Structure 1
Amino acid sequence: MVDFTVAICTYNGAQRLPDVLDKLKACLESGRRSHPTLTWEIRIINNNSSDETQQVIEQYQTQWSSDVPIYSHFEPQQGLAFARQCAVEQAQGEWIGFLDDDNLPSENWIVSAHEFGREHPQAGAFGGLVKAAFEGTPPPGIERIQSFLAIVERGNMAFQYQLKTGLLPPGAGLVVRKDAWLSSVPKQLFLKGRIGQVKLASEDLEAVSFIQQKGWEIWHNPQMQIFHKIPESRLQLDYLVTLVRGTGLARHHIRMTRLTPWQRPLAFLIYFCNDLRCLLLFWLKHSSQIHQDLVTTCQWEWLRSSLVSPFYLWRQGAIYGESLKK
């Protein structure tokens, strides 16, 4: 056993992985100075990549410090949910910090995460600050939809996420207690990630919801900070609309995950009426900008896809109740 596992889930990340690993090298040097007894490891989950990802991993393994080993695991089932489950099962750390292959941690990210975990023995998971590293010029008003790009800055004070608010930290930079995940999260989540023609998102929120439902605390730790690299291709209308739509279509399932079976029928009616109200009010106020302004179009798609989410899931045969029983 080690204190901390860094889990990097990657798909065709040969061009992106080196930046992440170089940042982790800075974490290693910083940790040696401030916390020389802290033990940690790196687990890279190659999620069925078809590029030179594996060669990049092997190259770094040969030149990496032996006291913080890099392990490589191949996960053939496509989807971030499968990759994260593989990481949890393979990790030796008490805590697991998830990084995507475009997440660049600050040099104190691991130390801050480990200290926060020790100070909060009831915490099952916590997230930090996720700042944008745009590689192009973002469109005006991007801050209104930046949460869909996992850009989350929720202040410089630590706080506990409350179940009634429905707010949770994103998967980028998420740190989980291994025991909390294994005892709370089903091995196969209902949401698998954006794969193939299925673009449903929010598999990270589903996992954290299960942990919170089991009574574990979920926290915001502002001492942890990562930068999320956003290439210019992810600032285009087609990509953003697809991203927002996938999150909206999954919204009904995330909502129902937080409720008991007897609460769901009434909650469905309340949510549907409120979503319809929000959609109509938005249209009355912004109809002239829909399909003209990128950010407004994305906001419209979020409201529209949220409204149709339960019907879309039912039509696809994705009955949330059955998945929650597993």
Structure 2
Amino acid sequence: MRPIRLDHRKFHCSKLPFLSGRWKFQQSTYPVGWITGNPGDAPGAPGGPGRLVAECGRLIDAGRLRLPAPPAPAPRLRNADPTFPNPNPKPSKTPKTRKPFPHRLYLPPTQACPCLTVSVIIVNYNVRFFLEQCLHSLRAAARGLEVEAIVVDNNSTDGSPEYLKARFPELIYHVNTQNVGFAKACNQGLALASGEYILFLNPDTLLAEDTLHVCLDFFRRHPKAGGLGIRMIDGTGAFLRESKRSFPGPMTALYKLFGLSLLFPRSRSFGRYHLGHLSEHANWEVDVLAGAFMLIPRKVLDEVGSFDETFFMYGEDVDLSYRIQAAGYQNWYVAESSIIHFKGESTKRGSLNYVRLFYSAMNIFVRKHYGGTQARLFRASIHAAIGVRAALAAAAKFIRWIGLPIIDGILLLLSFWLVKELWTHYVRTDIVLPEALIRFSLPAYALAYIVTAYYAGLYDKIYRRGNLLRAAAFASLVLLAGYALLPEKLRFSRAILLFGALLSFVAIGTVRRILLSAGVLQRPAESADKPFVLVAAAPGEYGAVTTLLERHKRHQNIIGRVGGAPGEPGSVAGLAEVGSAVRALGAEELIFCAGSLSYKEIIAHTARLRSSVRLRYHAAGSDSVVGSDSKDSSGEALSIHEPLRLALPGPRRSKRLLDVALSAAFLLTLPLHLLAVRRPGSFAVRCAQVLLGRRTWVGYCLPPSGGLPPLRPGVLCPNGPGRALLPGLPAESLRQIDRWYARDFDAGQDLRIILKNYRWLGL
């Protein structure tokens, strides 16, 4: 006979049907107690459900268990199904003032009983696949513990709530209608939490099986510990220095600003902010806990308060760590277990927005906790850092988005001019080119080259040499074709165009290499877009990963399976030999499958294989593979869902090019369309809107949701004239049409839709 805990996490009316019409159990901070008996026993069995009902009656008669009368009107009842998501009723600050739901067993707060161990609070914003892998690792880490997970979604646009609720119905969800910031979202999750310990966890993390056990054991051994952080590595296996930090000060800010902390990372003085002189493999008392993993006892939070919502993002962890220390508690860095923190998934580091948010948070922290000369010096150093970092970020952004075409235009003009000078002085000395023609023609050819290169992908976010080669080829063809159509009086030399384009190709390529070396441009992965892949998995998991990669046309590149033990049938190597197998087989990517492999093993091998191969992660039973090759940039996520072509930059450019070309052609021939289209005045307005980028000729039937790429409002829908003229179609069918359109997008199909529904373009 085992005890039954009368709590929504352990006991449900569905296990005792004869109770389902009498009581439901309140979800509160206080469990309702323990009573002996087995839920599966017959009603009349000794110690069974009959005993349970009798004991409940005895407790009610003794005044130890209350059955409150139902208020009017009755609020929403909790479903008896244990898989039903939490409806997130807004609790009050103290359990004593919490209003119980009708017909629920409620234990007075004075009743002593065990409580939930850990409440995990995760704030999500547009990282559903990383969060899926995080939750699978949390399930493994929670074995043997009483753990609840609360996900607060900050108005994600990638369909995160719908995607995750279907896969993790046991979670508690809170969905915001706007991005309220990290601090406020954590406080919203804290209001729903009922654990003895609160873990604030980032969604782009993977926990080992022993992580929570190690941390809770550390708290039992250190009663003065008020907060705890963990050793973190990134997706490449590199140690993350922010795992252990000191409080920011004037000198640490200056050392960081002038780069001394990077030059001397292990110096006690210059590397003090990240405590580089302390070993990453030992436990240390530190000042600051990293917000990616903060485990704090509930009693400490009740004493010092939760996150300060003045901090929108960044700095709130430093502020809370400061208050924990000020209350007389200790903050600890624990190296007995490790987690993976991909970073870059919920943060775009190096951007102007990042600089503004980060240093504004530091400024708030200084005003709040420092005073006198120290505060003035600190603020001065922060303002200097803001100015320098903002200038660098602005320069990098200018070069990436505006400066690159300008630089390329200058290189093109210089190339054409140099070839013209060499050609007329050493090859065709008998010709004289009109100076006015040269001044007009060379800028026009340079502009045509840049526009063609843009649509060929030269200015994509990630630079690839293939894009440069394709852009140079297409641009040269466009220039030569356009030159052939010009009148004779506007031509001067095909050779100057051809050799000028070739010289500019070399010059642009050289400048791109310099900018890559300086870190201004984002460097692509060292391996190809479809690398050779090894999969570390059991046979069943290997088949699931193969199916997933097949959706993305990458299964042909799988070169073998790494088994758990050496000599395992069907494997090319054992897990212990994975490093040798990567080098021997020339693998460029390794996918770890958590299932037969433990997360602890995966994290250990991630650290050993640091930077030698691209690492990806997949949990058995999940529908995605995730990974990140840099802590400063977004990672890669592949899902079982078919990829959407409309999310790629190339198809989006071709769609925009078609919109611009058709709009310009319609406006130039507007009189011809006045009698052919309905509402010709509206048709002219639509042409202008599409040309200016406010609309697109073919758009979605409904506002984009569920992870569809954003799109301007459409004049037409993929199914034709739109919902206004086809009101009978249900919303679900229209959403499916939108998904098919985004998945199979083709500019030729857009053209066919426009021509087929030509007369409706004015509606």
Shared fold per TM-score greater than 0.5: yes
**Identity percentage over the alignment?**
21
Mapping 1:57-96, distance limit 5 Å: 57-62=164-169, 69-76=170-177, 78-96=180-198
Structure with bigger gyration radius: 2
Match of 2:153 among 41, 46, 57: 46
- Mapping of residues 175-254 of structure 1, within 5 Å: 175-185=295-305, 188-193=308-313, 201-230=314-343, 237=350, 239=351, 242-254=353-365
Give the TM-score normalised by structure 2: 0.29
Specify the code of the residue in structure 1 equivalent to 2:186: R
Quick check: 1:172 aligned with 2:172? no
Paired position in structure 2 for 1:2:
116
What secondary structure does 1:15 align onto?
Answer: helix
Q: Residue 209 of structure 1 contacts residue 257 of structure 1 at CA under 8 Å; is this kept in 2?
A: no
**Structure 1 unmatched runs, 5+:** 63-68, 136-140, 162-166, 194-200, 296-326
SS in 2 for 1:21: helix
AA in 1 matched with 2:155 = N
Q: What does 1:1-326 align with in structure 2 at a 5 Å threshold?
A: 1-28=115-142, 31=143, 36=144, 38-62=145-169, 69-76=170-177, 78-134=180-236, 144=262, 155-161=280-286, 167-185=287-305, 188-193=308-313, 201-230=314-343, 237=350, 239=351, 242-259=353-370, 264-272=371-379, 293-294=518-519
Distance 2:307 2:233 in 1: 30
The alignment covers a number of residue pairs equal to 249
- Contact kept, 8 Å, 1:168 with 1:208, in 2: the verdict is yes
Give the superposed CA RMSD.
3.8
CA shift in 2, pair 1:274/1:8, >3 Å: closer
Confirm or deny: 8 A CA contact 1:134 1:232 kept in the other structure.
no
Separation in 1, partners of 2:346, 2:123: 21
Q: Distance in 2 between matches of 1:106 and 1:41?
A: 17
More strand by share: 1
1:245-299 deviation line (CA, Å, top 9, x unaligned): 432232232234334xxxx12222333566689999x99xxx9xx967449xxxx
1:155-177 Cα distance to aligned partner (Å, 9 max, x none): 1221212xxxxx41210111111
Code of the residue aligned with 1:45 in structure 2: it is V
Deviations 1:135-191 (A, max 9, x none): 9xxxxx9x94999xx9x9961221212xxxxx4121011111122123212565321
Query: Which position in structure 1 is the counterpart of 2:747?
Result: none
What SS does the corresponding residue of 2:366 show, helix, strand or coil?
helix
8 Å CA contact 1:75, 1:86 repeated in 2? no
Contact 1:5 1:41 in 2 (8 A): yes
Greater RCO between the two (CA within 8 Å, min separation 6)? 1
Residues 106-163 of structure 1, C-alpha deviations (whole Å, 9 max, x = no match): 221111121112222222211111211159xxxxx9x94999xx9x9961221212xx
> Do the aligned partners of residues 233 and 212 (structure 1) sit closer, same or farther apart at CA in structure 2, a change above 3 Å counting?
closer
User: What is the TM-score of this pair, normalised by structure 1?
Assistant: 0.64
Following superposition, the deviation at residue 45 of structure 1 comes to 1.5
By how many angstroms is 1:103 displaced? 1.4
Gaps of at least 5 residues in structure 2 are 1-114, 238-258, 266-270, 397-514, 521-763
- Equivalent residues of 2:288, 2:317 under 8 A apart: no
- In 2, Cα distance between equivalents of 1:213 and 1:76: 35
